[in-house]
Structure 1
């Protein structure tokens, strides 16, 4: 289930193998903060293979302050509610930065139709490496529909797919009518049904569940 399994350590994704890294930065590539399935080697491998790309992808574990993993305000046709970064002063998370070459970056951009790639603000968002160094010029994908909140207008953290969908279904009678009573039924109904997913996305806004991520103004594409 989304977002898939993340690595325990930094590594170089080369086909089906996650190899040791000899360094943590790659100046000839673009650093991209992954808050969802882009941090899953299996998902990355699938994306690259689908378009015939075979070049390796460095995946570097980092400690990120000022950014939390929020909840995208849209229902994906893959059958889940995805993650999106949100501005969160004082919050620190361990997240992966993937380093993409120009061809890989263009491909991943194309697979994120509901997101805008933005450059994270410095110094309010700090990305620290295991060796104590910090990264600048890090990008992330921010959901263009906004993010969900808990009722107080503050972006909610993503608790994991099963827990999240359970909470959303419990809170909304109309969402249960559209997607069923359980996370499993939600995923089955949503998967590959673009019209239903669009209605679910509209319902989030209609029921006033949506707020801003705090990163929208940084849009670069």
Structure 2
């Protein structure tokens, strides 16, 4: 991955969030990105990645922390109906992350990662799904509301995505704003909010460093987004199922097997 420029994890380099994405589909296997032998994996569940979960370096970092070394198929897909918005929370990793938003008619290239149960539990935990105060819920986005077309023309019946419980930031017209990359995003947020400057400093570097050092400060920054009325709905909240408590990390029930 290092030779391909895909080894860095945004968790270690927050101003480079969402990290480098592959140009093509591949099988993430340790430090290597290998060719795929198939695009659909019926024994796994598909997860639509709109931020750093499409970064091989980030995925490897998350799995390494849990001692998981099994490969992860990553498939580049043509997705209609989903845009990449800005999470309305400040991450303790030192960045403001991406969140999916409803975007009827919008077409863009995103990655579907195919996860087994163990891998899914790791990603769920990294997004706070099992926690009452976590930042995301995992929701099933069905076709035809969201169309996910693989490189061979196969259309999936749907995929999971992580919907932010805090909502997303808007662009001033109540429409979700797009995520321009971490440095320009933080620079713009600081420029427009005195409260954020008082908390996080005047530069993207200061923002990131202070956020990484102080979880309570991140929570206060998240509150500022709401207090300054910078937040709107993603439009995907209707797909979130009621939370269950029977087992940690379980999240919503899995969909029927893919056919």
Secondary structure of 2:21's partner?
coil
Query: Structure 2 matches for 1:116-155, cutoff 5 A?
Result: 116-155=137-176
Q: 1 CA distance for matches of 2:186 and 2:180?
A: 10
Query: 1:46 — aligned with what?
Result: 61
**Under a length normalisation based on structure 1, what TM-score does the superposition of the two structures give?**
0.98
**Under a length normalisation based on structure 2, what TM-score does the superposition of the two structures give?**
0.84
Cα displacement (A) at 1:56: 0.3
Structure 1 runs not aligned, ≥5 long: none
Query: 1:68 — aligned with what?
Result: 83
Q: 2 CA distance for matches of 1:93 and 1:171?
A: 29
Q: 2 CA distance for matches of 1:207 and 1:199?
A: 12
Higher relative contact order (CA 8 A, sep 6+): 1
| 8 Å Cα contact 2:146-2:158 kept in structure 1 | no
The number of residues matched between the two structures is 221
Asked if 1:194 is matched to 2:209, the reply is: no
C-alpha RMSD over aligned residues: 0.9
Cα displacement (A) at 1:124: 2.1
Runs (4+) off by over 6 Å: none
Cα displacement (A) at 1:207: 0.2
Query: 1:178 — aligned with what?
Result: 199
Asked if 1:31 is matched to 2:52, the reply is: no
Residue 203 of structure 1: which of 224, 236, 240 is its match? 224
Structure 2 runs not aligned, ≥5 long: 1-15, 129-134, 242-250, 252-259
